[in-house]
Structure 1
Amino acid sequence: MEMTTQTSATGSDRVPRRRGLTEEATDAAIDQACRMMRLPTTRGVFEANADAAAREQMTYRGFLAELLLAECDDRARRRSERRIKAAAFPRIKTLREFDFDANPNVDPRTSNALAKCDWVRRGHPLCLIGDSGTGKSHLLIALGTEVAMAGFRVKYTLATKLANALAEAADEMVLTKTFSGPGRAGRPRSRPPRRRTPSRRWPAPLLVLR
């Protein structure tokens, strides 16, 4: 079948239209366009969504909105997954898994309020204090996961490791780079490093929010 191209003009916008494409050619064109524009979610769901739109007699605008929203939702999910992975949590923990009955001193309302991340937006610190086995690490990882899902960059580390890194950074006067940039591997030293005994204090885990 011969394909014809028409142009629709609205004001100064001119959008070329291709008519006469077979269904197979249309699907192939959509697949190729999605690859070129890096729309993997749209590429994966457009056929099923198109069939559903035809059955439900959805408008063109409604169909397009469904595709775009699906792409946006999936991109947000992938960004959250990348932030959680970059946080380097030692294991997966969620607030839903936390046993509040076994830890009566932990108020679930407080934990749920902290999960909204208002304290992060206000720049407030969070310190979890308690005996061993009371769920501090679980809560820390779970809250850190919520913070990452809210769009903030998170880094899980041990207080001893952070203290030693800060001591090294202070010696080299690169504290800013320690928090804002990548590692300093391979960076030439201006003077020999001091010999330091690794700190044994503060063995608790920390979250560094950037």
Structure 2
Amino acid sequence: MSDTPQVLLQHHLKKLKLPTFQSEHAKLARQCAAEGRDHVQYLLRLCELELIERERRMIERRLQRLQKTIADQDLLIIDELGFVPLSKTGAELFFEIISQRYERGSIILTSNLPFDEWTEVFGSERLTGAILDRLTHHVHILEMNGESFWLRQSRNAKI
């Protein structure tokens, strides 16, 4: 009979779709008891954990739908790569997108940076090498030197 409340609690938390409550309530109860926190503080911390975990899962479900949408396109155009350096997470996501599209979809990529400066954009030589390996296999590189289109447009507008 002593297990009945625990079993019922697990059942109710599952029905209410509170997985973080379900997995963390016992550990957090012990921690709060050791810290002398009352039941309201315990519930507040448990609710905060549930909200944080829901937010994390929601964001993850979004980075996966967006990645799938990008991977499924016939053509991906990436303009001005390197204009702003990527965060570590951004560089890793960029690698994932390039890897998913590798030999499955076309990519047009523009950059003002030569390949040897891409490490500054991605923050890691190894990651940059892996990205360049995928991007430069079966590729046509068009190197264009000269005046910027935007600069020329600006000058023509002034005349």
TM-score bin, normalised by smaller chain: 0.3 to 0.5
Higher helix share: 2
Query: Which structure: greater strand fraction?
Result: 1
TM-score, length-scaled by structure 1: 0.35
TM-score normalised over the length of structure 2: 0.46
